[in-house]
Structure 1
Amino acid sequence: MLRRLRETAPAGLVPLAWLFAFAAHEGALADRTVLVGHVVMTALLVAFAALSYEDMRDHPVLRAWLAVIVVGIPVTAAGAYGVWSGDTAFALLAVVGWMALPAVALAYTGRVLPSAERARVYTLGGALSGVGAALLLVGTAVPVAFLCVGAGQTAGILAATLTY
């Protein structure tokens, strides 16, 4: 049961995470709520990496995603620090980090997998996520940035969940 949860939960958590991030960015959530969200996500990432290491270390695509999770731990912790301290640079690092890290892994996944395994979905998801990160960094069309990232990363995780 735990294995099935690890395999399918991200399909729901990814879009929820981007809705949460957008709501936080728009000021719809209290700082304490955002801080708790970062702490909980950091703990979940640590647990997921530890529980999934054996399953993910041998396949090149899964190893890339394991790297995203492991690198994402300090990125998420930086976001927690940013919210706690009021340092917006750390909060921005967390948001852009979670836009860019999966963008790279999605693009890699799309390049490595055969087209029969929905490679185009991953490539498109990576492109959308990268566009979203760029839009957020330049500070224009911020809602569109979150929409691009949420749609791209959700498409990627749904393709993975449905295929595997």
Structure 2
Amino acid sequence: MLRGLRENGPIVLVPLAWTFALAAHVGAITLRTVLIAHLVMATVIVVFTALSWREMTTGVLRAWKLVLLAGLAVTLLGTAGLLVTPPLRPLLTATVVGWMLVPAAGLIYTGRHVDALASVYTVGAAFGVVGAVVYTAGVAIGATSGVGLGLVAAGLGLTGVGQTAGIVAAVTQY
């Protein structure tokens, strides 16, 4: 059962994480809830990586182990930003952008090293990079309403779609 969760869980967790991020940005959940989510996410990453460590020693899986380790650092950065009052917005923005770009690098690597579905990984990476640019533009304009919030939501959505496509491809391929 645990193996099945490790292999198929990301198909649910990736879109859930981006939906949660969108909910946080539109004010549908509290910062305390976001902090708890960061702690849960860090725990899930540690457990998943530890349980998969031996399997993730070479090739594409090694690249994704590195994505997970970098993602853990990015998540802990966001956690630190949430532990102070008021929250450190630059750290929170860096966390979101980090989670957009680090997996994009993994998707690019995967697309270059697999034959089947390579274009899905490459397009997924492009969505993540474009999502990061759009998101950052929204934050720069002001993400509390109007155009800024629209850009933030669009950036989160693009990234969520791209990463979800990549993880669905990976789960169905392996």
TM-score range, shorter chain: over 0.9
2 CA distance for matches of 1:73 and 1:61?
A: 18
Residue 29 of structure 2 is matched in structure 1 by: 29
2:136 touches 2:152 (CA, 8 Å); kept in 1?
Answer: no
Matched to 2:156, the amino acid is: F
Residue 18 of structure 2 is matched in structure 1 by: 18
2 CA distance for matches of 1:22 and 1:81?
A: 20
Structure 1 unaligned residues grouped into runs of 5+: none
Root-mean-square deviation over aligned CA pairs:
0.9
Q: Provide, for residues 97-151 of structure 1, a one-character-per-residue CA deviation record: whole Å limited to 9, x for no partner.
A: 000001111111111111xx11110000000011001111222521110111000
Residue 49 of structure 2 is matched in structure 1 by: 49
- The reply on whether 1:143 has 2:153 as its aligned counterpart is yes
Q: How many residues align?
A: 161
The 5-angstrom pairing of residues 51-66 of structure 1 reads 51-58=51-58, 60-66=59-65
Q: Provide, for residues 3-57 of structure 1, a one-character-per-residue CA deviation record: whole Å limited to 9, x for no partner.
A: 1110000000000000001111111111110000000100111111111110111
2 CA distance for matches of 1:12 and 1:66?
A: 19
Runs of at least 4 residues off by over 4 Å? none
- The reply on whether 1:163 has 2:164 as its aligned counterpart is no
2 CA distance for matches of 1:84 and 1:61?
A: 35
2:60 touches 2:110 (CA, 8 Å); kept in 1?
Answer: yes
Matched to 1:104, the amino acid is: A
Q: Provide, for residues 63-116 of structure 1, a one-character-per-residue CA deviation record: whole Å limited to 9, x for no partner.
A: 1110000111111011111122111111111101000001111111111111xx
TM-score of the aligned structures, taking structure 1 as reference length: 0.95
Q: CA deviation at 1:2?
A: 1.1
SS in 1 for 2:27: coil
Matched to 2:16, the amino acid is: L
2 CA distance for matches of 1:47 and 1:65?
A: 15
Matched to 1:55, the amino acid is: E
SS in 1 for 2:83: helix
The 5-angstrom pairing of residues 58-97 of structure 1 reads 58=58, 60-85=59-84, 86-97=87-98
Structure 2 unaligned residues grouped into runs of 5+: 139-147
- The reply on whether 1:106 has 2:107 as its aligned counterpart is yes
SS in 2 for 1:5: helix
1 CA distance for matches of 2:124 and 2:152?
A: 18
